Amino acid sequence: MLSPLLSPRELSVFSTSYQNADDAFVASVAALGGSVGATELPYDGVGPAGESMATRKVWIGDPDAARVLVLLSAVHGVEGFCGSAIQQDLLQRLASGQVRVPKGLAVLVVHAVNPWGFAWCRRVDEQGIDVNRNFIDFSLPLPINAGYRELAHALVPGSSGSGSGAEVGSGMLQAGDERLTAYLQQHGQYGYELAVSGGQYEFADGLFYGGTAKCQARLNLEAIIQELDCPNRDVAVVDLHTGLGPYGHGELICDHALESEGLATAKRWYGDAVTIPEGGDSCSVPKTGLVDYAFHAAMGARSCYVTLEFGTYPIAELLRCLREDHLIRKQGQQPFTHSDAERVRLQLLKQFYPAEPQWQTMVLLRGRQVIQMASKGLLND
């Protein structure tokens, strides 16, 4: 009864840095032997120690498999500590023979979609772009988020559409708190979150900024999606995230449209655990520019995309950490020069990755469960 649910060796898949995670992931792939296909997608830029970065793609199983489980990590860079651990845990269990890839199924593991954010402990990429708001059609007029426009300077004082806001101290955030509280009281929690986190394309140094063109991470993912040949396969995508919901709880969020075949598939595979932002029963609200939508456009009827979101701390604390991060650690200043930069990095890291055995255990056990559910859904549907 007093023995740990998971051993220290099993929990060792949680890394202490991007470089540590990347090295451990490469070692886990090597332990599988020559039966896997591993590809490195180089990523421009360097990490805090001058290290190179890459997104890694690993295919396990029959290259022509008609059913494929896809695991994505670090779409929001700093959230990669969790996603990488779940991916490494699966690879190590495969290497040890604890689990196997069933006949007719293949697994595609995409490690560190946004390696820059992973390395620098930020949600955004090197341009300040939220990769999970970047998947829009940039040939059309940019979406307008009137709510964010109203709150932009309260959220990040000095922010501007050009990204040239003045350097200010974190105490400046307090000046915007009253405005944010008034908006929350007027529009309610749902309306407030929709305005703040739904995605915006106007304030380049602001929160949840989707950019004005395709970012590196998107280009890499689009190449992966094309090669995956989704129209001719049944595909289950599990995108690994942290930050929303109760501490340690892994919520299955589905952003397929209401009444869509994708949503019906998700409900068959995952049952009542699936939550739907568009239906209002999720810890997340509907958003523009999600990675999901690129997969949705390519997927067939018996495929679906879900986000496995692990809760950490209250959303008000999350928002405060993000505001301070965008205030103190500005694009083009790497290494970040503000005297509070390291403190802000550490508090953001804790917000998205509580490096505590209880949380880590819940993450790995839930990750294993969802991988099993997705695999069964693919094989039995």
The stretch 103-110 carries a mean pLDDT of: 97
Which of the four pLDDT bands, split at 50, 70 and 90, describes residue 381?
Answer: confident
The stretch 184-191 carries a mean pLDDT of: 97
Please give the structure tokens belonging to residue 204. 């380049």
Q: Model's pTM, two decimal places?
A: 0.96
Output the average pLDDT for the chain.
94
Convert 259-316 into a string of H (helix), E (strand) and C (coil).
Answer: CCHHHHHHHHHHHHHEECHHHCCCCCCCCCCCHHHHHHHHCCCCCEEEEEEEECCCHH
Residue 273 and residue 217 share a domain: yes
Residue 358 and residue 345 share a domain: no
Which of the four pLDDT bands, split at 50, 70 and 90, describes residue 330?
Answer: confident
CB 209 within 8 A of CB 133: yes
Q: Is residue 271 part of a domain?
A: yes
Pairwise pLDDT comparison (310 vs 168), residue with the higher score: 310
Q: Is residue 98 part of a domain?
A: yes
User: pLDDT by residue (tens digit) across 34-84?
Assistant: 778 999 999 999 999 999 999 999 999 999 999 999 999 999 999 999 999
pLDDT of residue 114: 98
Q: Is residue 198 part of a domain?
A: yes
Q: Is residue 132 part of a domain?
A: no
Residue 197 and residue 82 share a domain: no
Count of domains for the chain: 2
Residue 105 and residue 51 share a domain: yes
Taking 50 as the threshold, does the pLDDT of residue 116 lie above it?
yes
Residue 357 and residue 238 share a domain: yes
Handedness of CA 369, 374, 379, 381 (dihedral sign): positive
Q: Is residue 276 part of a domain?
A: yes
Of 150-159, 184-193, 357-366, the one with minimum mean pLDDT is 150-159
Instruction: Mark 81-102 as b/e (b = at least 16 C-beta within 10 Å).
Output: bbbbbbbbbbbbbbeeeeeebe
Q: Is residue 263 part of a domain?
A: yes
Taking 50 as the threshold, does the pLDDT of residue 133 lie above it?
yes
Taking 90 as the threshold, does the pLDDT of residue 334 lie above it?
no
Q: Is 11 left (phi over 0), alpha (psi -120 to 50) or beta?
A: alpha
The stretch 287-309 carries a mean pLDDT of: 97
User: pLDDT by residue (tens digit) across 345-369?
Assistant: 999 999 999 999 999 999 999 999 9
Residue 174 and residue 248 share a domain: no
Instruction: Please give the angle made by the CA atoms of 357, 305 and 209, to the nearest 5 degrees.
Output: 80
Taking 80 as the threshold, does the pLDDT of residue 270 lie above it?
yes
Looking at residue 93, which CATH number applies to its domain?
3.40.630.10
CA gap 80, 76 in Å, rounded? 7
pLDDT of residue 159: 67
The stretch 284-291 carries a mean pLDDT of: 97
Residue 371 and residue 258 share a domain: yes
Residues spanned by the domain of 151: 137-209+315-350
pLDDT of residue 175: 85
Q: Is residue 2 part of a domain?
A: no
Residue 217 and residue 203 share a domain: no
Q: Is residue 130 part of a domain?
A: no
pLDDT of residue 99: 96
Taking 50 as the threshold, does the pLDDT of residue 165 lie above it?
no
Please give the structure tokens belonging to residue 75. 């779409």
Of 30-39, 164-173, 240-249, the one with minimum mean pLDDT is 164-173
pLDDT of residue 304: 98
